[in-house]
Homo-oligomer: A and B are copies of this chain.
Amino acid sequence: MTYCVAIRLAQGLVFASDTRTNAGVDHVATFRKMRVFEKPGQARMVLLSSGNLATSQSVASLLELSCRHHEPARNLLQVASLYDAAAMVGATLREVVARDADPASTIDFSSHFLLGGQVEGEAMRLFHIYPQGNFIEASRDTPYFQIGEAKYGKPILDRVLDYDTPLAQAIQCALISLDSTMRSNLSVGAPIDLVWLRPDDAAPLAPVRLAEKDPYFSVLRQAWSKGLREVFATLPAPDWPL
């Protein structure tokens, strides 16, 4: 499986993804599920994927090729709006599934994508593109999207995040959400890819890769575990006779 989360805040965007893929428990591998598209001063985007690896890799390869060859029909870096980029991802996904999926097969060829970023002249935006190629956009009320093994890591996002959460705290929250998922589900695993964007920032995107033993990630996980246990120890005891 996979777990990816993307958050849209007043202060910027945060993206985090694991790198484990598996087809059965004896076919486990490491693949990057985060891709970056950028053209300084014009467009900066991050694409996260889950689902069928052949499908999501094909979609990303076709999008990357189109950028490299400056094909306007499918060039994420020549759009006027991030909305158009989301539509391009959706159309490419439909194309790949139509090409590869065998209707007679029980194999699931579907993929989900999260696409977020900023196109010059627009605010930052974040989209979730469904396997059918249609998509929804994050809002103030719902500032994050998840794809893949989303349930384990959802409670911490629901408890901590809102649109006004500072960027550093949203990064911590995304990492703890990943950590909770990795502890409870073997199909999600380190290293973690992490990247954040501030609005109207000219600096190139600088994704960070965190290994299982990364010093900051280790300290964060330990501090969270220890803190949880301490809170637990101070909880009011039930007043029933036990």
**What residues of chain A have their CB less than 8 Å away from a CB belonging to chain B?**
149, 151-156, 158-160, 167-169, 171-173, 180-181, 183-185, 196, 198, 208, 216, 219-220, 223-225, 227-232, 234-240, 242
Q: Say whether A227 contacts B231, CB under 8 Å.
A: yes
**Contact between A216 and B239 (Cβ–Cβ < 8 Å)?**
yes
Residues in B with CB closer than 8 Å to A234 are: 223, 227
Whether A171 contacts B238 in the complex (CB less than 8 A), given A152-B152, A183-B155, comes out as yes
Name the CB-closest residue of B to A221. Answer: B235
**A237 x B168 contact (CB < 8 A):** yes
CB nearest neighbor in B for A206: B240
* A227 with B223: CB separation less than 8 A: no
Query: So how many copies of this chain end up in the complex?
Result: 2
Once the chains bind, are A224 and B235 in contact (CB under 8 Å)? yes
Contact B168–A180 (Cβ < 8 Å)? no
**A184 proximity list for chain B (CB < 8 A):** 151, 154-155, 158
- Please, how many angstroms separate the alpha-carbon atoms of A219 and B235 in the complex? 9
Chain B residues with CB below 8 A from A168, complex form = 237-238, 242
- The answer to whether A227 and B216 touch across the interface, beta carbons within 8 angstroms, is no
* Contact, CB under 8 Å: A235 / B216: no
Interchain CA distance A156-B168 in the complex, whole Å:
24
Q: Which of A149, A224, A234 has the most CB of B within 10 A?
A: A224
Bound together, the chains give a CA A149 to CA B154 distance in angstroms of 13
Chain B residues whose C-beta falls within 8 Å of the C-beta of A230 in the assembled complex: 227, 231
Bound-state Cα–Cα, A80 to B198, Å? 66
Q: Which residues of B contact A225 (CB under 8 A)?
A: 159
CA distance A167 to B241 in the complex (A): 11
Answer whether A208 and B159 are a contact pair too, CB < 8 Å, given A220-B235, A223-B235. Answer: no
Shortest CB distance A5–B (Å): 14
- Known contacts A196-B242, A208-B240, A227-B232; 4 additional CB pairs below 8 A are A151-B184, A159-B229, A160-B229, A227-B234
- For this complex, 12 residue pairs linking A to B, each with C-beta atoms less than 8 Å apart, are A151-B151, A155-B155, A158-B184, A159-B183, A167-B242, A168-B238, A169-B232, A173-B232, A208-B240, A216-B236, A219-B236, A223-B235
In the bound complex, how far is the Cα of B232 from the Cα of A158, in angstroms? 13
Count chain B CB atoms within 10 A of each CB in A155, A156, A185 and give the residue with the most: A155
